[in-house]
Amino acid sequence: MMAPNTSLCRLLKPTALELHSASLSPAGRCLPLVPRCRYSRTVGSAPAKKERVLILGSGWAGYALARSLSRRKYDCSVISPRGYFVFTPLLAGTAVGTLEFRAILEPVRRAGVGFYQGWADDIDFRHKKVLVEPNALDDMAGRTVIPSKQSKEKAVKVAKFEVPYDKLVIAVGAYSQTFGIEGVREHANFLRDIGDARRIRLRVLSLFEQCSYPSASTDDVQVASTPGAPTPLTEADKRKLLHFAIVGGGPTGIEYAAELHDLIHEDLAKLYPELVPLVRITVYDVAPKVLPMFDEALAKYAMNTFDRQGITIKTKHHLQRLSLDDGYLGTEHGAIKIKIQEYGDEEEYAGMVVWSTGLMQNPLVEKLVNKAFIPVQPHTEPVTHHILKDKRTGGIVVDPYLRARITTSETTTEPDEAKATLDDVFVIGDCAVMENNRTLPKTAQVASQQATYLAARLNAGDVTEKEFKFRNWGTLTYLGNWKAIHQSHADELRGWVAWILWRGAYLTRSMSWRNKILVPVHWFISWLFGRGISRF
Amino acid sequence: MMAPNTSLCRLLKPTALELHSASLSPAGRCLPLVPRCRYSRTVGSAPAKKERVLILGSGWAGYALARSLSRRKYDCSVISPRGYFVFTPLLAGTAVGTLEFRAILEPVRRAGVGFYQGWADDIDFRHKKVLVEPNALDDMAGRTVIPSKQSKEKAVKVAKFEVPYDKLVIAVGAYSQTFGIEGVREHANFLRDIGDARRIRLRVLSLFEQCSYPSASTDDVQVASTPGAPTPLTEADKRKLLHFAIVGGGPTGIEYAAELHDLIHEDLAKLYPELVPLVRITVYDVAPKVLPMFDEALAKYAMNTFDRQGITIKTKHHLQRLSLDDGYLGTEHGAIKIKIQEYGDEEEYAGMVVWSTGLMQNPLVEKLVNKAFIPVQPHTEPVTHHILKDKRTGGIVVDPYLRARITTSETTTEPDEAKATLDDVFVIGDCAVMENNRTLPKTAQVASQQATYLAARLNAGDVTEKEFKFRNWGTLTYLGNWKAIHQSHADELRGWVAWILWRGAYLTRSMSWRNKILVPVHWFISWLFGRGISRF
């Protein structure tokens, strides 16, 4: 809609940035009306040269840092393949139409930083430059793309370019782990980005629509059965298509199963009553129990809750292959065949497979930990170094101040006695491994605490003044039907109380004021009128 | 989110349908809790057999009728390629991110009628059956598909089936008119369905993102110029890509131009300041003036307003071909070449072409007016008849009660002396041509008045009791920057007043309570925080 252009309205109406910054660090509050992006220097509205902080990634680590870094002190730019931050805890909610997609997105450019949409392709630590591979194409935006040759080729349409930095923050996160299982990349849906949520939503709704077509002729409809023409769906076909398989019993998988259950039993049951008996939801996991981060009692409670809701949990099951059903509609619109070790040759079928089995290292990180370079630093001799790589996870080892460790030893996973760091290269989020606490989980909580810590230290200008300490706020998982579980050192909660805590926590953490308003509005509207069920 | 399952909450919370029906005809208010769809009969919750009313189409005519037809009296089903009604006057608003897509959609199934998603492929008037070609695929949903062989083949995945009727209402609307101009179907964007709006939005934002990449090396960035690698965008490239061409000077084209102008100058200007000088918006029309439905003064006012906003209007221009720029990125992501008769060989370039040059007959209508059949009706002899076709538009001629006229004459555009009708076949909306008022415009206003009239007549059970009369409520067009024009017999308005009227009118007409709440919320949020600019 149109912004008022009268001075009155200008007075009435704070700018997006003023409001946005209200939820930010004090530094944020002094943003000018036109966001300070890298152009404004060329436009000439900015003071003298500042230190250039370049942030790779726009997730929980990168975006939170970009928001709270001092604009007075630093000239901040972000490089990320997507132009927004996704509030991931609510992603499952958007995938079932409870929330609008946009209500959980925060555009990076609105944070008032410079932005280049693309992948950081390589880093020259000696000359302090990042090579950027642009990505401005619609079809690449918002999707989890497990890097494949084709997808990259598609993306390279614009010339690569190099962006220099004074301080670099690597927060590129991690990719979904497929364990190289055949067919996963082609046929499974991930749930890590907004485009994933959209495609899952479309798929669920179109499966119900497909299955609502008449199976056979009745007094009501005559199914055309001309030879050569496709045959109508049988009830067996529909049972295949209405089986929803979720692989991975972590919070993401469990919460999606819960949200999907709510969607089907609260909304779709009214619209497709005759299909509900055919629906199955199954969660597969290789481990002996789901939700490993919760203690026995809470995990048991979760499994009982699912049991009552008719969601099947199959632990100790090993998926070996996904392929397309060669039967009815042997196409992307048909069922998916799932080969499971425990079932032998007899394969399972599903209309959709949601894949959420943990994370693997980002290709950039692999490239970095395997490259030799000569750092320019006073306190190290000009000899070849490597980034220190964590043996177990392959991540980048950082010191207690989140600076990348480097080593001269041949085996890049062994620290040398010098224990040097790249003083102007910080690593936070999923791709960082703290040498003094290697077991920190790859969670949004860790990433955002590291971002907050680093922003404070950089704004204060004393990076090594105090070490980063992780404070566990506890874990929350939604179980569907107004129930959740919460666990922390202090307490354990389950059911309604935990659910309210869950909603509250998300609400207050939801980033901008825009979304602080929109999310509860959508929750209320969906509760009152039902979820959005239109496909587009 | 989850609906409460306690009786307390059940008491507190009206069902979607109860609320929905609150905005409907009295008939709507007596909907049962589970919507009466065709299944409910098989489920057994419904009384004895009722007359089956089958509605083809879910637009202004079809959906409005389906909502207000008596559930007591009729068993109502809808056949439409899309599962929802689109509130088209606000489509341009969603295309620029002012409104959420879903806020202008009304799912047909939520209206409590039976629904088959697909195209009505053919009609057997003698045996009263409609042949349905199913369409449940994601990629077909929500897009304006100018029927082509491929698109049809893609869609045929499920067996066709026949749905019988007692009364039939043909409200299939019309398709976008391309005049068979080369390259329009492939390279132009239409603006008639929600998927069109989404693609336009993605395209605009990705063009700005593409053009934000550095053109050449500066102190800030080094553009990699390895031989063979793509060259960076020059300023000339960016001028091509940031030219937005709108073809057709009717309300749709004009309003989209206005909304696009607002998006660029209120939101994108803050985020891409250096690109704004390169942007051009041009509206092309073959006619000597735009907005022909407005009188000279208002049209002039509109053109002056556009002039001040820097939107160019080029009347008396004839587009002859659209093709891809063979230069930079000679791909779907590059610029589009526009051949214009008046420019001779020198071609114009644009990053996006929005096509809105009027309507052509729906293929189903063409099929129907060309088929011979023997109607089963007491007062006509069993001789071959044709549906009577309007000479000028090719639409179906209807009598003052909106019933399809049939003729025995050879030339299907000539009425015979009998002037018979198909008493159980009604035609409303864009595909109907009233014999006593052939100049009625193809507008939402006419379609919805016809739907309201027909619903009232059918609910009362006296189809021929009084004739349909069109009452002109006047025309409104938004011109951007908080200005609009309005014209009716009674009055003429321009500027702010008209804009408020415009918003108010849409608000009250916006269909369900859900959207009556959501639309103003989104308007307010967009005004306060700016429009949504994330791509997904």
DSSP string, B199-234: HHHHHHHHHHHHHTS-SS--SS-EE---TTSPPPPP
Please report the pLDDT score of residue B368 as a whole number.
94
Helix (H, G, I), strand (E, B) or coil at A401: coil
pLDDT tens readout for residues B51-93: 999 999 999 999 999 999 999 999 999 999 999 999 998 899 9
- The rounded distance, in Å, linking the Cα atoms of B403 and A280 is 47
- The rounded distance, in Å, linking the Cα atoms of B75 and A83 is 49
Domains and CATH numbers, chain B: 51-177+360-460 (3.50.50.100), 184-214+230-357+475-529 (3.50.50.100)
Tokens 């959980």 belong to A104
Confidence grade of residue A12 (pLDDT, cut at 50, 70, 90): very low
Tokens 């689109």 belong to B86
Q: Which of A360-374, A506-520, B130-144, B182-196 has the lowest mean pLDDT?
A: B130-144
- The rounded distance, in Å, linking the Cα atoms of A270 and A266 is 7
Percent of chain B whose pLDDT exceeds 70: 83
Higher pLDDT, A226 or A373: A373
Statement: residue A1 has pLDDT above 60: no
Residue A413: both structure tokens together: 């996973």
pLDDT tens readout for residues A152-177: 554 446 788 999 999 999 999 998 89
Statement: residue A110 has pLDDT above 60: yes
* Mean predicted lDDT score pLDDT of chain B: 83
Closest Cβ opposite residue B2 in set A231, A329, A481: A481
Please report the pLDDT score of residue B38 as a whole number.
38
Please report the pLDDT score of residue B505 as a whole number.
74
pLDDT tens readout for residues A305-345: 999 999 999 999 999 999 988 755 545 568 899 999 999 99
Chosen from B49, B78, B131, B138 to mutate, greatest number of chain A CBs within 10 A? B138
CA contacts within 13 A on the Cβ side of A170: 37
pLDDT tens readout for residues B335-392: 999 999 999 999 999 999 999 998 899 999 999 998 888 887 666 567 888 999 999 9
Q: Do A162 and B331 touch (CB under 8 A)?
A: no
Nearest CA in chain A to B165: A220
Q: Measured between CA atoms, how close is A431 to chain B, in angstroms?
A: 25
Please report the pLDDT score of residue B306 as a whole number.
93
Helix (H, G, I), strand (E, B) or coil at A139: helix
Statement: residue A15 has pLDDT above 50: no
Higher pLDDT, B150 or B398: B398
How many residues are present in chain B? 536
pTM of the predicted model as reported, rounded to 2 decimal places: 0.86
Please report the pLDDT score of residue A517 as a whole number.
85
CA contacts within 13 A on the Cβ side of B151: 15
Confidence grade of residue A138 (pLDDT, cut at 50, 70, 90): low
Higher pLDDT, A147 or A420: A420
Please report the pLDDT score of residue A519 as a whole number.
85
Q: Measured between CA atoms, how close is A360 to chain B, in angstroms?
A: 24
Q: Which residues of B touch A242 (CB under 8 A)?
A: none
Bridge-based pairing of strands A336-340 and A348-350 is antiparallel
Q: Measured between CA atoms, how close is A418 to chain B, in angstroms?
A: 34
Q: Which residues of A touch B136 (CB under 8 A)?
A: 206, 209-210, 213
Nearest CA in chain A to B535: A141
Q: Do A517 and B525 touch (CB under 8 A)?
A: yes
CB pairs under 8 A between A and B: 287
Statement: residue A39 has pLDDT above 60: no
Please report the pLDDT score of residue A284 as a whole number.
97
Q: Which residues of A touch B235 (CB under 8 A)?
A: none
Please report the pLDDT score of residue A331 as a whole number.
52
Closest Cβ opposite residue A16 in set B43, B109, B529: B529
- The rounded distance, in Å, linking the Cα atoms of A356 and B71 is 45
Listed ranges A42-51, A441-450, B7-16; the one with the highest mean pLDDT: A441-450
Statement: residue B141 has pLDDT above 90: no
Please report the pLDDT score of residue B9 as a whole number.
39
CB A279 within 8 Å of CB A215:
no
3-state secondary structure B456-495: HHHHHCCCCCCCCCCCCCCEEEEEECCEEEEECCCCEEEE
pLDDT tens readout for residues B249-303: 999 999 999 999 999 999 999 999 999 999 999 999 999 989 988 988 899 999 9
Spell out where A213-364 has E strands: 222-223, 243-247, 280-284, 311-314, 319-324, 336-340, 348-350, 352-355, 359-361
- The rounded distance, in Å, linking the Cα atoms of A332 and B408 is 48
Compute CA distances A281 → A239, A329, B141, B161, whole Å: 11, 22, 25, 30
CA contacts within 13 A on the Cβ side of B141: 23
Interface ipTM > 0.95: no
- Mean predicted confidence (pLDDT) in A105-128: 93
Confidence grade of residue B100 (pLDDT, cut at 50, 70, 90): confident
Confidence grade of residue A226 (pLDDT, cut at 50, 70, 90): low
Q: Do B482 and A2 touch (CB under 8 A)?
A: yes
pLDDT tens readout for residues A391-448: 999 999 999 999 999 998 877 788 887 788 999 999 999 999 999 888 899 999 999 9
- Mean predicted confidence (pLDDT) in A183-198: 91
Q: Which of A39-48, A405-414, B347-356, B468-477 has the lowest mean pLDDT?
A: A39-48
Q: Which of A125-129, A504-508, B188-192 has the lowest mean pLDDT?
A: A504-508
Please report the pLDDT score of residue B24 as a whole number.
36
Statement: residue B426 has pLDDT above 90: yes
Please report the pLDDT score of residue B380 as a whole number.
59
Confidence grade of residue B49 (pLDDT, cut at 50, 70, 90): confident
Q: Do A100 and B102 touch (CB under 8 A)?
A: yes
Nearest CA in chain A to B135: A210
Q: Which residues of B touch A137 (CB under 8 A)?
A: 206, 333
Q: Which residues contact B227 (CB under 8 A, 6 or more apart)?
A: none
E strand or H helix at B164: strand B161-164
Please report the pLDDT score of residue B156 as a whole number.
44
Confidence grade of residue A356 (pLDDT, cut at 50, 70, 90): very high
- To 5 degrees, how large is the angle CA A213–CA A219–CA A224? 50
Q: Which residues of A touch B14 (CB under 8 A)?
A: 528
